[in-house]
A = this chain, B = another copy of it.
Amino acid sequence: MTAFGYLGPEATFTEAALIRLLDERGITDAERVPMHNAEAALAGLVRGELDGAVVPIENSLEGGVPATLDALTRNGKLQIVAETLVQVTFVLAVRPGTQLSDIRSFATHPHGEAQTRTWISEHLGNAHFLPASSTAAAARDLAAGDVEYQAAICPALAAERYGLEVLAAGIGDRADAITRFVLVRTPADLPAPTGADKTTIVAVLSSDRAGALLELLEQFAARGVNMSRIESRPTGDGLGLYQFSIDLQGHIAEARMAEALMGVHRVARRMQFLGSYPAAAGDTVIVDPRTTDASFAEARAWLDTVLSTSRP
């Protein structure tokens, strides 16, 4: 049996992401282990206690994103092998039998409250908000009974898990809130290229040199590699260094990506490869005919001919 960790607590969006990722892989017998934080999940993976770990990496309402990237970067021994996008949508969950009009108080994580304020003010105008340590904890405690509130605002998964009844679904203010989760494993699990892949790296540049970022991007442009995400943060080391977290379109086993990453390896102060994996959106990467593997192979063959023709 295998075990996969995830950023707990149980029954939050991260577990939902893990369930989906396991499902996509046809893994039905895995144990799902909630972890306190990303760092603990990754540490368990390095120690071999886990076969994988799921953590949020972008746009998470429940936090954890910078921590995830930091943990992955600091750890340095793991790689992203898959991603999935989860729509962050809340339900109003109650114990079976409770009516909307019975609700005088509700519990949820403060972020859950912030995200559903419009719906609450319309439908539960006078209800009192009680903070919980997580949206799922609010549901779990409600199901266990002996709490001061009659409803929990939580993910559908939590309602289902704890046997609660859903009085209203999709009650978040933003229908489009989506969080991106990644499945992290060891470098031995690098997925094969699919033609619709993403590569994630972290690069540290000196901010003292004008045009340092431009120089970095040239490494991608010269090989026709496109970016789909970039974020910069000061490294906070007082040396004027900036850390760039970047998603690229393509796979490290493709010639254009391999050469671009070697270029970044040369020009950046530090560079870390965080993985090549199928893009959740599934869109095939459109590759300029001049940067296909065939085009790189042709150029290499040409060079070999030039060099081999000369007398030793």
Kindly state the separation between the CA atoms of A269 and B305 in the bound complex, as whole angstroms: 19
Known contacts A133-B129, A263-B222; is-contact A228 B214 (Cβ 8 Å)? no
A111 in the interface (beta carbon within 8 A): yes
| A265 proximity list for chain B (CB < 8 A) | 298-299, 302-303
Q: Quick check: is A307 within 8 A (CB to CB) of the other chain?
A: yes
B190 and A310 contact, CB distance less than 8 A: yes
Which residues of chain B are near A229, meaning CB under 8 Å? 232-233
Task: Note all chain B residues with C-beta closer than 8 A to A132.
Answer: 131
Q: Does A213 contact B (CB under 8 A)?
A: yes
A133 is contacted by which of B131, B176, B207 (Cβ under 8 Å)? B131
Q: Given that A227-B213, A296-B262, A296-B266 are contacting pairs, would A134 and B114 also be in contact in the complex, using a CB cutoff of 8 Å?
A: no
* B190 A213 Cβ-Cβ under 8 A: no
Instruction: State which size class the interface on A falls in.
Output: 35 or more
Q: How many copies does the complex hold?
A: 4
| B-side contacts of A109, CB under 8 Å | 110, 131
The 7 closest A-B CB pairs, nearest first, are A190-B310, A222-B222, A262-B299, A265-B299, A131-B133, A187-B309, A131-B131
Residues of A within 8 A of B (CB): 36-37, 59, 61, 63, 66, 109-111, 113-114, 117, 129, 131-134, 137, 176, 178, 187-190, 207, 210-211, 213-215, 217-219, 221-224, 226-233, 236, 242, 252-253, 258-259, 261-263, 265-267, 273, 288, 290-291, 295-296, 298-300, 302-303, 306-307, 309-311
